[in-house]
């Protein structure tokens, strides 16, 4: 796990000083080693966090044995040892990076189909004067870039791009619309003008003498089609097999490793499979709170005891968390409405001497664990509502708002006001943080009519998919990739901690996206997962209340964090993109207890202005 940088130029200018600054800006991602390679048209940079082959032989940028190729690589190829056996190559290291180089020489771009892992890497071909930049199937590892027709600048982090001083520090107006709506920006867009994110499962190629930046997808989430066993019993066995195989692959490391253990279904399944698969005692980490209503400690302790893990319970008071919040805010690379929780658990895990940890992220998206699966199923079953006159549906929505004011009723009204039943549009509304009427009030210019999640999902072939598979693809491609995975990466790598996600093994994902709804969700969320791993998931865990990281954010924003929030809300109001009166009015309504304004509608605004101030964004 590392950080990569690079600048390609159509002229023969090299950019060593700029790449040195880019490396320095993300030193936190790879404190173990760093390197730069420069030749005609290309300068590559790398910060290394050593996980596999800790020796100097794993240094990057790495060159092929014949010096034809140079690579910078961030991530892990879990099946590199198996691929290595197929290659006739004079290996000089035991690293997965060198396996990529050898595979690239033997199979070219087709080698990507053989890789099981999380990765973003760039390969420079010295013979062709050609650069290829690749991102993994599910977007676990980030890759940002800027191309102006003359230079291509790319990096694992936006801060690193900005450090090159080759990027204008300007907000992208469509990205801003998306951020206000969804507390993030959907790839390929970002919050910055002319800065893009390479889409998951994609690659791009640029070569000397051709100014076109060619992009293509090498893996398609909507094309997943795997044979599913006919019987439920056989399906459970196949899910179990692929899950265990995924966990086992992710235990390959030459450093101490552990797992985040909340005591929920997903993390408990991961820890159980780790304990059964590893020949060393598993280290587990749980954040607990003095206030029992916020604490999951007893559930985590129960799982730790069952599997005899080396369990660390980090007891925090709200003040402990609040004291660390400024550091968490400073670690944000791309603004997001989430993330401080991951920053905290990553901090304590790294301080305990662990360099790599497994996470249960992805279980809800694959096994229909979120409430949105049930909500979208209900909308699908009630399509006949859209045969009623629009005015009547709007009246129904307004009545619900009056009887039960709040965020949920506001969304129902917005959905009922749609002209037709349309899955992608109504899914997007269900995931909005601020609805369009509020976003329109906050902005000084007209709101964009384009919803980036809708644009993204309409590119997929969802028509023949079952309802729950449609929701899974939507969740994975929007909220998971652009909030959860982005936050997991930026907050863990702030502490040089590698996080691996077994649920996102592409072979497991491809199976689950092919499973019929009736087998995936017969009557309760995640039933297939629970049945497949019943020996790892006792009833005590399965039937416990779903909590996650629970903090009294609303109270904090009105009391402990009031001064911080007030400063950033008022500064944001003064920026030219915003309607000052509407922004301050929103803040006042929140503080007065307006039920339609939960903390999650306010906190992203605080984060946005903090990020703009920190990164000097105009």
Q: Which residues are catalytic?
A: 2
Residue 201 gets the label, from left (phi > 0), alpha (psi -120 to 50) or beta, of left
Instruction: Output DSSP code: residue 562.
Output: H
Q: How many CB atoms lie within 10 A of CB 217?
A: 14
**Residue 603 near residue 337 (C-beta atoms within 8 A):** yes
- Identify the residue whose tokens are 């640029």: 206
**Alpha-carbon dihedral sign for residues 117, 137, 72, 502:** negative
**Residue 405 near residue 452 (C-beta atoms within 8 A):** no
> Cα separation of 541 and 538, whole Å?
6
Secondary structure class of 511 (helix, strand, coil) = helix
- In 3D, which of 246, 231, 486 has the Cα closest to residue 366? 246
Q: How many CB atoms lie within 10 A of CB 425?
A: 19
Q: Find all residues with CB under 8 Å of 352, minimum gap 6, and list them.
A: 258, 283, 285, 312
Q: Are strands 283-289 and 257-260 parallel, antiparallel or unpaired?
A: parallel
For 75, 394, 411, 592, the CA distances from 401, given in Å and listed in that order, are 47, 11, 9, 18
Cα-flanking dihedrals φ and ψ of residue 501, to 5°? -125, 90
Cα-flanking dihedrals φ and ψ of residue 357, to 5°? -135, 145
């Amino acid at each position: 796990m590392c950080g990569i940088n690079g600048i390609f130029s159509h002229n023969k200018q090299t950019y060593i000083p700029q790449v040195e600054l880019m490396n320095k800006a993300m030193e936190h991602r790879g404190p173990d080693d760093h390197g730069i390679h420069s030749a005609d048209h290309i300068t590559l940079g790398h910060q290394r966090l050593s996980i596999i082959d800790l020796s100097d032989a794993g240094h990057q940028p790495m060159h092929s044995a014949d010096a034809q190729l140079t690579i910078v690589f961030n991530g892990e190829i879990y099946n590199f040892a198996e691929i290595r056996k197929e290659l006739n190559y004079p290996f000089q290291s035991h690293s997965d990076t060198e396996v990529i180089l050898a595979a690239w020489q033997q199979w070219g771009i087709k080698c990507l189909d053989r890789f099981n892992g999380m990765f973003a890497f760039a390969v420079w071909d010295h013979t062709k004067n050609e650069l290829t930049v690749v991102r993994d199937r599910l977007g676990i590892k980030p890759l940002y870039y800027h191309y102006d027709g003359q230079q291509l600048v790319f990096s694992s982090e936006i801060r690193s791009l900005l450090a090159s001083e080759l990027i204008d520090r300007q907000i992208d107006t469509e990205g801003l619309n998306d951020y206000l709506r969804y507390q993030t920006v959907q790839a390929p867009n970002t919050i910055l003008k002319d800065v893009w994110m390479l889409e998951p499962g994609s690659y791009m190629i640029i070569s000397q003498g051709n100014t076109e930046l060619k992009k293509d997808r090498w893996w398609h989430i909507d094309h997943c089609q795997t044979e599913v066993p006919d019987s439920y019993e056989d399906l459970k066995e196949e899910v179990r097999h692929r899950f265990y195989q995924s966990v086992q692959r992710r235990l390959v490391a030459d450093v101490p490793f552990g797992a985040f253990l909340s005591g929920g279904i997903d993390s408990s399944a991961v820890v159980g499979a780790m304990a059964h698969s590893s020949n060393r005692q598993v280290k587990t980490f749980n954040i607990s709170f003095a206030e029992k209503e916020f604490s999951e400690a007893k559930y985590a302790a129960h799982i730790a005891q069952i599997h005899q893990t080396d369990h660390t319970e980090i007891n925090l008071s709200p003040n402990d968390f609040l004291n660390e919040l400024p550091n968490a805010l400073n670690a944000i690379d791309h603004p997001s409405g989430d993330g401080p929780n991951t920053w905290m658990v990553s901090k304590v895990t790294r301080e305990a001497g662990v360099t790599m940890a497994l996470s249960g992220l992805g279980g809800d998206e694959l096994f229909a664990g979120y409430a949105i699966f049930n909500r979208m199923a209900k909308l699908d079953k009630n399509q006949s509502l859209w045969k009623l006159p629009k005015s009547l549906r709007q009246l129904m929505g307004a009545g619900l708002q009056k009887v039960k004011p709040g965020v949920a009723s506001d969304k129902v009204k917005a959905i009922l006001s749609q002209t037709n039943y349309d899955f992608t549009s109504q899914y997007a509304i269900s995931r909005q943080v601020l609805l369009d009427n509020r976003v329109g009030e906050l902005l000084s210019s007209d709101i964009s009519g384009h919803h980036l999640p809708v644009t993204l999902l309409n590119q997929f072939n969802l028509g023949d998919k079952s309802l729950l598979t449609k929701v899974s693809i939507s969740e994975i491609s929007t909220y998971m990739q652009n909030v959860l995975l982005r936050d997991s990466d930026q907050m863990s790598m702030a502490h040089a901690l590698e996080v691996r996600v077994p649920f996102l093994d592409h072979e497991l994902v491809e199976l689950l996206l092919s499973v019929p709804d009736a087998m995936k969700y017969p009557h309760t969320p995640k039933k297939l997962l629970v049945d497949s791993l019943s020996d790892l998931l006792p009833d005590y865990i399965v039937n416990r209340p779903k909590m996650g990281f629970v903090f009294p954010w609303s109270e904090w924003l009105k009391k402990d964090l009031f001064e911080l929030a007030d400063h950033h809300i008022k500064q944001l109001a003064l920026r030219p993109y915003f309607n000052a009166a509407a922004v301050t009015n929103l803040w006042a309504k929140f503080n007065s207890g307006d039920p339609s304004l939960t903390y999650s509608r306010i906190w992203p605004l605080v984060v946005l202005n903090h990020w703009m101030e920190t990164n000097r964004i105009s």
